[in-house]
Chains A and B, each alone.
Chain A
């Protein structure tokens, strides 16, 4: 490329220049290739020979800037800066570091292998367990079907008896409502019939201006007659044509009235004596309240009423059905329990614990890191917390999200997201970066950006087989 006495063509082919222009401290090529030995080009590359160590390319603007970048100091040969040749020390140091790394990875990989083999065992154990549970599930589900049939059969007579009981109660209620209506009609008629002639006449009704629905003008005779349908009505006529029209708006005129005897449940023909003897508290209360209720409020009272107890025969049928239901529920509980166990096991099986299951030892494990103010706790594949040492509540800094390492090995980093939200900031999150170590251990937790936590975690699971190999050959060629 750089042949003396021949014109030089920039490596990008953009320009050809006389050879004297190469390394003449003036940048001619756009790609900076004419000045590999000077700082003239902003984008050039300078080659450090670094004898005794690894040769390297550095940006050419590092040349002659007073900073020793090459271990042989060649980038500062032409400046006053004195750079010691550190290539030998560097080579030794690098070699020592590599060896330390290799030893570490070697030891780590051994442990990792244990984890992997355990993982295989645990995995098959889990599968066996799942298979067992699935068999159990089969039989319990069959049992459930039987119980369901028994339940169904017991519920048929039970329902029939209950329906019968309900029907009877409905009839009784209808009778009671009729009686009460009659009371009301009679009461209202008596109230309206001020002259006691057993007829309600227009002038008697006209006093009840509250019945004037247009509200604007007087309650005229015509309007009253429209309601009555004639000049006066008897009790029967009142019952059939008038009562329904006025019962909602009707108000008593203010005058002393004689309380009308209270219809109680006793006074209503009731086929069941159980009502009287009932110890049901609601019924008792209803009894207590009735004396102060006016006749017109009676309707409420009836609607509050509750049905009487079932008869003994029905009760017995219910008891039988209850028994089948309890048995059904118990078996159903068993089914759900087994299903949940299976699901949990499958979840564990489905957790991505690495290509070879190297992270399987993390399942259901939590790790703590003690810092000045906080304990940081990460429960693997679950969540991460910040626990203040000076008291106060734990703060969720994230929930398990995914492996987020580089494409080459995504299992070198994991992420926990959607933790508690910061004031004026994002929801907290945690990134765990794994590196090779002999034990599972959190090395460091930081908060480089507000509410974005970064954890460094050492584990054999992150050790690399390739790093564990003695690379004496490559070392020789490089140094």
Chain B
């Protein structure tokens, strides 16, 4: 049998210690979470689990069912369901047969029941079943011991329980109070199984232990990613010397960076990437989770011969290949694992979003610039801020109102002394094409005079304590209760609070921000619900915790959708999230700080979210807590202008930081950054549409576009916007040079300001001053821009387009443009959009429609074509569109090899060809 190196077990013997501070003490370590403590030390030499192959049933083609037995506990019977899914994906469910208590299976995450594909059983003997399915996927289920090996393109990529850490705590009867255990097993009485206490909080644990641990190992990989949300590196770090990465939605006050502590949201999905394949593992589970990550070496010497040839590369002289071993531990629920066999990054994005959904194309204005603060105090203040943008000619699309706009933190109400005419305030903003966003948190103030509370109370809509009474906790308004969105009736009722009738003072220009929805409970254990509060269906919060925030923002989305009879795209921003949140909400990284380190960590945090499906993401510009100096603020604007969700936000105790408050020079720099964002909006919008269609997030790690460039696998100081722009935000205070790695062999990169060329596979030292945002367009791409300035994005939707054609080494390029009305569902319901492909090849630039049924009325035309990297001044430029022909004027700069074609003129909606000769 295979022998593995167990580095993790060595580490467990060490006394793991942290730099303690007050904040951290409010949150559990693995040692303080009883199930994590039990699972983390579970490292047997051999696994007691065996698959009973004789029990195999084919439920349908693509769904095989087996019994899974624990040889040490013959009475515990598990069932293993194996589903071969379309998109090279495999689902494995392990659950108890006839359990003492039904185990929770996560709802509302998958877009639909995953589609099965036929499996071709290629081998079946007394100890193994091998099956092939879909394009490149193959599995080998080993019976004794229980183990699952996965291959893509016949490359061995993942293996499950190869480290024997599968450990399924079955539900059991509580040991009798006289001390005689219900089952004759000493481990059933282990400390923390039937109750535990953290600080002053007691967890009654009425159903006892129910956790599941399993190891999933990525063979021949050195880098794994994902499992957000953590303020940590993009390529996940080994947890040898720390706690495991924790997934448990929490409101962490002034979070620290570079550690595996849980944050506001959780996505139990991990990706692995190497130069041969990109694969993923998603465990659909909403309970508290912990994941150990370890970079190991796997000795291949004794691997059975059928496997050794499948690593893609040869192992080294010591017969070792790298391996990332991961140990996943969840407190309850079932094992419901999805394995994505890639093999390309784009395949992975498709595979994951096919299951959990992709972010739909957001309203155009929501990807423009947002101005927020806790708080804009009153209508005058809002007017003043709007006027500030006008006066300083800085574009902005949205002004936000935080909690102080309400009457005593009663959501759906207004502080009428400060906001006597909210409709007029919104209408006044709408004149400029601008929107307003108000906050709506899930805590409902306990006040009989508050309609929302009184109604919900009388209907019994609040989450219940373990004794059945309405659970009461503290949050912003003081004593509060929380709606139980798990009940479809309550979910619907909550969504109806957003109707214009129920939410007085709201208009079609008002959209919503859901904060504090982990939920944050100031006096609860770890600042959230006790785990033994009870939700709809009798499930404990223990089973469903990480879903709560998502259900709130999903209900909010439904409310806004309903409000417009399904015509206008809602916009919601949420702090808490789970797998699937991307379908209805944008996400931000919560309460960060005005520190350079927080500006820097935003990139890995956003990348981790991007690759796990949450593509509409951002970090508060300037940092939420504390006051940024002008330099940090300017740099933050420059970085965030090239990140998907772009909003300045600040804590109530900070000084004002609207863009014009830091002197003329800084105002100019901030204006430039925001204007640059607006100029690239057609590109961003096209990328968001691509995300809806293909699941590819707009912000990407370099390896997503350069999967074979091993230098990019740990990169987190730069990233890609789509396949077109390489962004290297300046994240250090006093620096006049940055070292930028340009990925891709035979790739050429163009500085977007100077069109200076850089070669791929090379690192260049780039001089920077305060004006600089090091950004490079990839040779081979065509990026649509709007170089005209407007004060809000919605005022520009019919403005002309500039195409920047960056040629590759073969003098070719291609790109896309997607346009629609920017706010309705007409693009889906009436095909009211434009989707065009531009290709440059053989001295011809062509525009063709990618969807002949699509039709969107617009005056938009092509006002300028910039061809970069064109070797010589063409003698003639001609453009043909239908039977029309024109010879536009062009200019050429020898030094930078830039050809600018003036007013080529065709309507964006038409097919045309531009010929250079």
Show the binding face of A for B, using Cβ within 8 Å: 24-28, 39-40, 42-43, 59, 61-62, 65-67, 372, 422-426, 446-452
Closest to A371 in B: B417
In this complex, how many residues of chain B approach chain A with their Cβ under 8 Å: the count is 26
B903 at the interface (CB under 8 A from A): yes
Taking CB atoms, residues of chain B closer than 8 Å to A67 are 431-433, 791, 795
A446 CA to B431 CA, complexed, in Å: 27
Residue-by-residue, is B452-486 near A (CB-CB < 8 Å gives 1, otherwise 0)?
00000000000000000000000000000000000
Which chain A residue has the least Cβ–Cβ distance from B796? Answer: A65
Which B residue's beta carbon lies closest to that of A43?
Answer: B789
Distance between A27 CB and nearest chain B CB, rounded to angstroms? 8
Contact B788 A449 (CB under 8 A): no
At the interface, yes or no: B448 with Cβ under 8 Å from chain A? no
Q: List 5 A-B contacts (CB under 8 A).
A: A61-B788, A65-B433, A66-B433, A424-B653, A452-B655
In the assembled complex, B652 has its CB within 8 A of some CB on chain A: yes
Q: Which residues of chain A come closer than 8 Å to B787, judged between CB atoms?
A: 27, 42
- Residue on A nearest B679 in the bound complex, by CB: A42
* Complex A-B, nearest 6 residue pairs according to Cβ-Cβ distance, in ascending order: A42-B789, A61-B789, A65-B795, A449-B656, A425-B653, A450-B653
How many whole Å from B334's CB to the nearest CB in chain A?
45
In B644-672, which residues have CB < 8 Å from any A CB? Answer: 652-656
The answer to whether B652 and A450 touch across the interface, beta carbons within 8 angstroms, is: yes
A66-B433, A448-B381 are known contacts. Are A423 and B791 too (CB-CB below 8 A)?
no
Instruction: Report Cα–Cα, A447/B791, bound state, in Å.
Output: 28
Q: Given the interface contacts A26-B902, A448-B377, does A65 sit within 8 Å of B790 by beta carbon?
A: yes
Flag whether B863 is at the interface (Cβ < 8 A). yes
B229 within 8 A of A: no
Contacting pair A61 B675 (CB below 8 A): no
| Chain A residues, CB < 8 A from B795 | 65-67
Asked if A42 and B791 make an inter-chain contact with CB atoms under 8 angstroms apart, the answer reads: no
B61 CB-CB contact with A under 8 Å? no
**Chain B residues numbered 901-915 whose CB sits less than 8 Å from any CB in chain A:** 902-903
Q: Chain A interface secondary structure, helix, strand, loop or mixed?
A: loop
Instruction: Report the minimum CB–CB distance from A19 to chain B (whole Å).
Output: 14
Residues of chain B lying within 8 A (CB to CB) of residue A39: 788-790, 799
Binding site for A on B (CB under 8 A): 377, 381, 393, 417, 431-433, 652-656, 675, 787-791, 795-796, 799-800, 863-864, 902-903
B433 to nearest A CB, angstroms? 7
The reply to whether A26 and B903 contact each other, CB–CB distance below 8 Å, is yes
How close is B329's CB to chain A, nearest CB, in angstroms? 37
Whether B433 pairs with A42 at a CB distance below 8 angstroms is no
- Compute how far the CA of A155 lies from the CA of B57 in the bound complex, rounded to whole angstroms: 122
Nearest CB on A from B126, distance (A): 68
Q: Which residues of B contact A43 (CB under 8 A)?
A: 789
Chain B residues with CB under 8 Å of A450's CB are 652-655
The reply to whether B791 and A426 form a contact with Cβ atoms under 8 Å apart is no
B653 touches A423 (CB 8 A): yes
C-alpha spacing A424/B903, complex, angstroms: 56
Given known contacts A447-B377, A452-B655, A42 and B675 CB-to-CB distance under 8 angstroms: yes
Instruction: Write the chain A residue with the least CB distance to B417.
Output: A372
> What is the CA–CA distance of A42 and B791 in the complex, to the nearest angstrom?
11
Of B417, B433, B903, the most chain A CB neighbours within 10 A belong to B903
Which residue of chain B has the shortest Cβ distance to A426 in the bound complex?
Answer: B655
A61 touches B652 (CB 8 A): no
CA–CA, A271 to B431, complex, Å? 107
- Decide: A422 near B791, CB < 8 A? Known: A446-B377, A447-B377: no
Given contacts A39-B799, A65-B795, A424-B653, 6 further A-B contacts (CB under 8 A): A25-B863, A26-B863, A26-B902, A27-B787, A372-B417, A425-B653
Q: Which of A40, A422, A426 has the most CB of B within 10 A?
A: A40
Name the A residues within 8 Å of B903 (CB-CB): 24, 26
Residue numbers in A under 8 Å from B654 (CB-CB): 425, 449-450
- Nearest opposing residue in chain B for A444, CB measure: B380
A447 and B417 alpha carbons, distance in the complex (Å): 15
Do the beta carbons of A42 and B788 come within 8 Å of each other?
Answer: yes
Instruction: Report chain B residues within 8 Å CB of A66.
Output: 433, 795
Complex CA gap A449/B799 in Å reads: 38
The distance in angstroms between the C-alpha atoms of A424 and B377, with both chains bound, is: 20
Would you give the shortest CB distance from A262 to chain B, in whole angstroms? 65
Q: What residues of chain B lie closer than 8 Å to A40, measured between beta carbons?
A: 788, 863
What residues of B have a CB within 8 angstroms of the CB of A372 in the complex? Answer: 417
A422 touches B653 (CB 8 A): yes
Chain A residues contacting B864 (CB-CB under 8 Å) are: 26
Contact B791 A61 (CB under 8 A): yes
- Are A61 and B790 also in contact (CB < 8 A) when A66-B433, A67-B432 are? yes
Residues of A within 8 A of B790 (CB): 39, 61, 65
- The residue in chain A whose Cβ has the minimal distance to the Cβ of B903 is A26
Contact partners of A62 in chain B: CB under 8 A:
791
Instruction: Assess whether A59 is in contact with B656, with CB atoms less than 8 Å apart.
Output: no
Which residues of chain A have C-beta atoms less than 8 A from B653's C-beta?
422-425, 450-451
| Cross-interface CB contact of A59 among B377, B393, B432, B675, cutoff 8 Å | B393
Measured CA separation A142–B800 after assembly (Å): 92
B907 CB to nearest chain A CB (Å)? 14
Give the complex CA separation of A153 and B589 in angstroms.
84
Given the complex, which residues of A lie within 8 Å of B791, measured CB to CB? 61-62, 65, 67
Q: Which of A39, A40, A65, A446 counts the most chain B CB atoms within 10 A?
A: A65
Give A423's nearest chain B residue, CB to CB: B653
A208 → B minimal CB distance (Å):
59
Q: Which residue of A lies closest to B395 (CB)?
A: A61
Query: Could you say which residues of chain B place their CB within 8 Å of the CB of A425?
Result: 653-654
How many Å from the CB of A252 to the closest CB on chain B? Answer: 59
Complex alpha-carbon distance, A195 and B433, angstroms: 119
Report Cα–Cα, A42/B799, bound state, in Å: 12
Nearest-CB distance from B671 to chain A (Å)? 11
- B655, A449: Cβ atoms under 8 Å? yes
Q: How far is the CA of A450 from the CA of B790 in the complex (A)?
A: 32
A114 to B219, CA, bound (A): 91
Nearest CB of A to B234, in Å: 31
Q: How far does the Cβ of A388 sit from chain B's closest Cβ, in whole Å? A: 17
- Least CB distance, A398 to chain B, in whole angstroms: 16
Q: Which of A42, A61, A65, A448 contacts B656 (CB 8 A)?
A: A448
Q: B377 contacts which chain A residues (CB < 8 A)?
A: 446-448
Closest A residue to B625 by CB, please name it: A424
Per the bound structure, the CA–CA distance linking A62 and B789 in Å amounts to 9
CA distance A39 to B800 in the complex (A): 10
| Residues of chain B contacted by A65 (CB below 8 angstroms) | 433, 790-791, 795-796
CA distance A451 to B432 in the complex (A): 32
Contacts of B417 in A (CB 8 A): 372
Minimum distance in angstroms from B650 CB to a CB of chain A: 9
Measured CA separation A28–B795 after assembly (Å): 23
Which B residues lie within 8 Å of A447 (CB)? 377
CA distance A312 to B417 in the complex (A): 82
Considering the chains assembled together, what is the distance between the CA atoms of A61 and B431 in angstroms? 15
Chain A hits for B800, CB < 8 A: 25
- Point out the residues of chain B lying under 8 angstroms from A426, CB to CB: 655
Provide the bound-state CA to CA distance between A342 and B655, in Å.
42
CA of A59 to CA of B789 in the docked complex: distance in angstroms?
A: 10
Which residues of chain B are within 8 angstroms of A27 by Cβ–Cβ distance?
A: 787
Q: Please report the C-alpha to C-alpha distance between residue A425 and residue B652 in the assembled complex, in whole angstroms.
A: 10
Complex Cα gap A163–B873 (Å): 114
Which residue on B lies nearest to A66, using beta carbons?
B795
Q: How far is the CA of A382 from the CA of B37 in the complex (A)?
A: 63
Q: How far is the CA of A42 from the CA of B674 in the complex (A)?
A: 13
Residues of chain B with a CB closer than 8 A to A451's CB? 653
Q: How far is A308 from B795 in the complex, measured between Cα atoms in Å?
A: 101
CB A81 to nearest CB in B, in angstroms, measures 10
Set of chain A residues within 8 Å of B675, measured between Cβ atoms: 42
Q: Which residue of A lies closest to B381 (CB)?
A: A448
